[in-house]
Structure 1
Amino acid sequence: MPKISKTESESTEEKIKEAARKVFMRKGFSGTRTRDIAEEAGINLALLNYYFRSKQKLFDEIMQEKFKKLFGVIIPILNDATTSLETKIELVVSGYIDVLSESADLPIFVLNELRKENTSIVQNIPFDKVIFQSSFMKQLKERRSDINPVHFLISILGMTVFPFVAKPMMLFSGLADEDSFTLLMKERKELIPIWVKAMLEST
């Protein structure tokens, strides 16, 4: 194979990864062939194999990107000791809605692939340290020691993430179109923190 310049190499590698993102999101790991990715990228299979030796290696890179996108919003917020619990709630909700508005299929893709155990990346995420020992959890325990923090966090994420999981059904059933769904999510940025704060204040 002719020598490839650094610029060409980076461009080709990104082209392959962009094609892989599309194909994996569309077909999942099991349904994707490396040939599908090569065709999507407009390159031959030999060139794809030159950059990525296996479908698993390429998939793990894409999954790592997706995890960073999905958890990269929440982890810094939860661990910021300078903000109040209420501010953290507002930032988590707003941040997730912004991310998922750009990538509505992201949670379904990640959850489906985790369920199939196609990647070991999740095993390398220190959930206990970055979430369960976070400033958010400490503030919640100080504020409401009677509330199970796992239930509390799941409630926030459920109210924030589930509408994007349900979006195809909402569009298909006529409950919303693209414009009204966008408006609903904008409204939920304001409403979810109000609902969550009401949970904190309830007796």
Structure 2
Amino acid sequence: MAKGKTKDGSTEEKIKEAARKLFTKKGFAATRTRDIAEEAGLNLALLNYYFRSKQKLFDIIMMENFRQFLGGMSAYFADESLTMEERISRVVNAYIDFLTEFPDLPLFILNELRGNPSKIAMKVNEEVGPARSQLFKELLNAKKEGKTALDPFHFVANLVGLTVFPFVGKPLLQRVTNASDEQFRAYMEERRKLVPMWIGMMMKGSGGS
């Protein structure tokens, strides 16, 4: 590569897309830079020119994936013009859309979270800090007023668990229930209405206890 040559954005995106596919499927340790170069249809020297190391490329991909994963929650929960019920419904719909398109992403994030929790925790604070503060404030105020006993931890755990876990546990769920891919997709469509309803029931049902 000639010194001073301008980097091509389309080539950079091609490398990132190949890396995203392989990192998500195989994880960081099992993915070689040579594998990424082959997947992108490029030579290894060109990949090294754009991204100096596998670690640097992985960090970029990981943070972009995580930003996508958290973006919907942050945007909707920060919107005070919406009721809590509307925000929950929009977050659930956004995640089901997103995870239907990228079903392997939650497991990838969970696997990497075990290896570097502090880095992921820092990124969570950066991405959802303002929205989280507003959401937690509303939930804690509702709890003080006796409208709900569902504190922020249980709220987030229920929302993420009910929405994300079916995609993480898809192979097991399909085997246990004998659900086909088509049936699984139909169940996920049903959960667009069911999950907000269940969370609403939990919040209302726990009030005054």
Amino acid at match of 2:29: S
Displacement of 1:43 after TM fit? 1.1
Amino acid at match of 1:108: L
Displacement of 1:122 after TM fit? 4.0
* Residue of 183, 187, 203 corresponding to 1:184: 187
Deviates more, 1:183-192 or 1:114-123: 114-123
C-alpha contact (below 8 Å) 2:113/2:120 kept by paired residues: no
Report the 3-state secondary structure (helix = DSSP H, G, I; strand = E; otherwise coil) of the residue aligned with 2:29.
helix
Report the 3-state secondary structure (helix = DSSP H, G, I; strand = E; otherwise coil) of the residue aligned with 1:80.
coil
Amino acid at match of 1:164: F
Q: Following the alignment from structure 2 to structure 1, what is the Cα–Cα distance between the partners of residues 119 and 22?
A: 20
Q: Following the alignment from structure 1 to structure 2, what is the Cα–Cα distance between the partners of residues 30 and 153?
A: 30
Q: Structure 1 residues 137 and 118 mapped into 2: Cα distance closer, same or farther (>3 Å)?
A: closer
Report the 3-state secondary structure (helix = DSSP H, G, I; strand = E; otherwise coil) of the residue aligned with 2:28.
helix
The unaligned stretches of length 5 or more in structure 2 are none
1:54 matched to 2:53? The reply is: yes
Displacement of 1:65 after TM fit? 1.2
The unaligned stretches of length 5 or more in structure 1 are none
Q: Structure 1 residues 95 and 53 mapped into 2: Cα distance closer, same or farther (>3 Å)?
A: same
Tell me the residue number matched to 2:100.
101
Amino acid at match of 2:113: L
Q: Following the alignment from structure 1 to structure 2, what is the Cα–Cα distance between the partners of residues 71 and 164?
A: 16
Report the 3-state secondary structure (helix = DSSP H, G, I; strand = E; otherwise coil) of the residue aligned with 1:144.
helix
Displacement of 1:172 after TM fit? 4.1
C-alpha contact (below 8 Å) 2:76/2:90 kept by paired residues: yes
* Residue of 149, 166, 175 corresponding to 2:169: 166
TM-score (norm 2): 0.87
C-alpha contact (below 8 Å) 2:150/2:202 kept by paired residues: no
Q: Structure 1 residues 22 and 124 mapped into 2: Cα distance closer, same or farther (>3 Å)?
A: closer
The count of residues paired between Structure 1 and Structure 2 equals 201
Displacement of 1:174 after TM fit? 5.6
C-alpha contact (below 8 Å) 2:24/2:108 kept by paired residues: yes
Tell me the residue number matched to 1:175.
178
Tell me the residue number matched to 1:19.
18
Q: What is the percentage of aligned positions where both structures have the same residue?
A: 47
